[in-house]
Amino acid sequence: MEQLQGASRFNRRAIKVEEAQRRILHACVHGRVEHVPIGQAIGRRLAASLTATNDWPPFARSGLDGYAVLSADTVGASPSQPVQLAVIDQVAAGELTKRSVHTGTAVRIMTGAAVPEGADAVVMLEQTVALERDGQAWVGIKQSAGAGQNVARAGQEFHEGDAIAVRGALVRPGHIALLATFGYEKVPVYARPKVGILSTGSELLPVGADLAPGLIRDSNSVMIAALVKEAGGEAYTIGRITDDLAAVREALFQAADEYDLLLTTGGVSVGDYDVMAAFMRELEYGGEEGSAVLTRTSSSEDATILLHPRTEIGEAADAIARANEGQGEGTAREGQEARDASDCTKMPKSGAETEGGRIGDSGTSLLFNKVAMRPGSPTSAGLVGGKPLIALSGNPGACYVGFELFARPVLKRLQGVSEAAARPRTTTATLTADFDKGSPHERFVRTRLFVKDGIQFADPLAFNKSSMMASLPDSDGFICIPAGPSGASAGSLVEVIVLQD
């Protein structure tokens, strides 16, 4: 098998989780918009803020079955001395009465019916007694009523033009009621992001295959697909690609034409044959592995200089200066800009041709290729043809963590959620047991959450290593253990990322 990575694979620079999230979310834009029948909008994210199309209620409505009255007529009413009123009409929901309530009269009214003119209160049926006098219906009111009692006045909840739901809101059954009330037969929502899932690794077998020496079944792809569906996306398992850089490159660029988000699993570590790590280095350096590409722009023709990725910045500046020689005033300025750069990865990329796509084209770049976290530090991300690509670890535990920290927020962002709201939801809890394993990077520990005596506790689960998955089904969240030599002690208050938000 061809070795894919050289010694430079060890030079990847880790960035903090928060910065990695910022980069990938900032690179995403809201997704495609579609209009769906109201019955299909549940669980989707609104693509536009919606407003009331009329006042609600559109007329004064009775909140219950009873009698519409003038509240002044009921003063002093009691069970022993009910106030007697003549019943002049009755009105059901959907009907209108032409009779107006005036002193000494009442109208029998049903829930939801329009309150007749003149009435300012409704007395519930249970607080009345039906009477008859000379063939005329009367009612005895056994309790005084205040003005406005049991009456929903016109425009009490909404006035025309009031907001009823904001863009990015997750449509729940209560939203459906409002949307129907205001006539939204079709609802603008963000399309479910189409997610292409690829697994790498020559050791992987299909789920239904028999095990063989040295081979394992591909569990990550189906796990990621389930997580994608849970997060509101449409999952497409493209399949397994071998540890061949050209094949990976071609597959990813083809997938970028069809899917809104690309997720890969495996091949991101520092092994000689980790193909996704090699592909990410192509994104980083703008061309084939082993070359960084710097571009000089001046008043004359552009020049492209190929450098080894480990070229010192001073040497890079000298190379640009030599290319600029004789090109006028731009030489000193451009050479200084190169010296001011912190590393070659901050230099502009070229449009160098590669098989299966153009590395360095607009919309194709590296966002990060190492994160200061455990597990899953090799997790990487970039843009391929303008589409976000997240390369997750092949270890199931690390793959799960990487999805929750980066992929789920991206899926929210593609469905209209703001950058801030797309980040994982956190809570605080009291740690039930010592976790004394220190780490140079922030650590995420699978945990069970429970409440006892009004206090929320985080109970670390066993089998927490990145390669282990026995505790995944029982995980309610990830305890965030800050970087340091001592971990966290029992009884301390810890931050926890809540899963299945």
287 within domain boundaries: no
| 496 touches 429 (CB < 8 A) | yes
What pLDDT, in 10s, does the model give residues 387-419?
Answer: 999 999 988 999 999 999 999 999 999 999 999
- Both 262 and 232 in one domain: the answer is yes
In 3D space, the residue among 355, 356, 344 whose CA is nearest the CA of residue 306 turns out to be: 344
CATH (domain of 465): 2.40.340.10
Task: Give the model's pLDDT for residue 177.
Answer: 97
Task: Give the model's pLDDT for residue 296.
Answer: 34
In the predicted structure, residue 362 carries a pLDDT above the cut 50: yes
- Both 460 and 391 in one domain: the answer is no
Of all residues in the chain, the percent with pLDDT exceeding 90 is 63
- Both 259 and 229 in one domain: the answer is yes
469 within domain boundaries: yes
384 within domain boundaries: yes
What pLDDT, in 10s, does the model give residues 165-174?
Answer: 999 999 999 9
Mean pLDDT, rounded, of the chain? 83
279 within domain boundaries: no
CATH (domain of 145): 2.170.190.11
211 within domain boundaries: yes
Task: Fill in the amino acid letter for 472.
Answer: L
Which one is predicted more confidently, 468 or 224?
224
- Both 23 and 86 in one domain: the answer is no
Q: Compute the average pLDDT of residues 468-493.
A: 92
- Both 166 and 225 in one domain: the answer is no
The total number of structural domains that make up the chain: 4
| 292 touches 341 (CB < 8 A) | no
Task: Give the model's pLDDT for residue 246.
Answer: 86
What pLDDT, in 10s, does the model give residues 305-333?
Answer: 333 333 343 444 444 444 444 443 343 43
140 within domain boundaries: yes
Residues with Cβ < 8 Å from 41, sequence gap 6 or more?
171, 175, 176, 179, 187, 189
List the domain range (segments joined by +) for residue 479. 426-498
Cα–Cα distance measured from residue 41 to residue 398, given in angstroms and rounded to the nearest whole number: 33
What pLDDT, in 10s, does the model give residues 56-78?
Answer: 999 999 999 999 999 999 999 99
- Both 234 and 182 in one domain: the answer is no
Q: Compute the average pLDDT of residues 116-129.
A: 97
Using pLDDT thresholds of 50, 70 and 90, give the confidence band for residue 303: very low
Residues with Cβ < 8 Å from 228, sequence gap 6 or more?
195, 197, 234, 235, 263, 407, 411
In the predicted structure, residue 292 carries a pLDDT above the cut 70: no
